[in-house]
Amino acid sequence: MTIEQRAQSFLSVLRHCQLLGMTVEQADENGLVIKLPYSDLIIGNPVTGVVHGGAITTLMDTCCGISTVCYLDEFEICPTLDLRIDYMHPAEPGAPIFGFAECYRVTPTVIFTRGVAYQQSREEPLAHVVGTFMRMGKGAIDSQKVPAASGGTA
């Protein structure tokens, strides 16, 4: 299975994500992009039609979590330890939101991920995200597969 197929099969079993209509747009060894379509279900402010932060958190938790398949040889269940989202500006109502995530450090016990939520371009993020995931798998050391942090020093 390709990385994209593995990401798709992971997403397809997550019931709440299916309800929101989330789809894998792109997945390779550099990270993952998931699309969250706009819908009435996820409106948080009924006056402005702006999407609820919770829907963006769900997109980014899912995206960071599934991005682990881009770096691990075998499927492992990786529960979220923590997640932080910083909002740059509200999402434009009516348009889909994309989530991008990558793993910047993989250790035998934890995986550090980061990403952005965006609409027009990844260069203009709605939100920045960091998430840490626990490895429950066999504890294999896959860190040599991951390039030493693509850019950042974290």
Partner 1 sequence: MNEHIEQLVRDAHESGDYMPLIAEIPYARMLGIRVMRLGEEMIFHLPIKADNIGNPMLPALHGGVLAGFMEQAAMLHLMTSMHSQTFPKIIDFSVDYLRAGLSRDTYATCQVWRQGRRVGNVAITAWQTRSEEPVATARAHFKLD
Query: Which parts of this chain interact with partner 1 (CB under 8 A)?
Result: 13-17, 19, 40-47, 51-55, 57-62, 65, 77, 79-87, 90
- Which lies closer to partner 1 via its Cβ, residue 30 or residue 57? 57
CA neighbours closer than 13 Å in the CB half-sphere of residue 44:
11
Closest distance between partner 1 and the C-beta of residue 42, in Å? 5
Please state, as a whole number, how many other Cβ atoms lie within 10 Å of the Cβ of residue 12.
13
- Which lies closer to partner 1 via its Cβ, residue 41 or residue 140? 41
- Which lies closer to partner 1 via its Cβ, residue 41 or residue 95? 41
Closest distance between partner 1 and the C-beta of residue 148, in Å? 26
Please state, as a whole number, how many other Cβ atoms lie within 10 Å of the Cβ of residue 130.
18
CA neighbours closer than 13 Å in the CB half-sphere of residue 124:
8
Measured CA to CA, the distance from residue 104 to residue 99 in angstroms comes to: 16
CA neighbours closer than 13 Å in the CB half-sphere of residue 99:
28
Closest distance between partner 1 and the C-beta of residue 96, in Å? 16
- What does the block give as tokens for 125? 């993020």
Closest distance between partner 1 and the C-beta of residue 65, in Å? 8
Measured CA to CA, the distance from residue 117 to residue 127 in angstroms comes to: 5
Measured CA to CA, the distance from residue 33 to residue 68 in angstroms comes to: 12
- Which lies closer to partner 1 via its Cβ, residue 81 or residue 95? 81
- Which lies closer to partner 1 via its Cβ, residue 109 or residue 144? 109
Closest distance between partner 1 and the C-beta of residue 21, in Å? 12
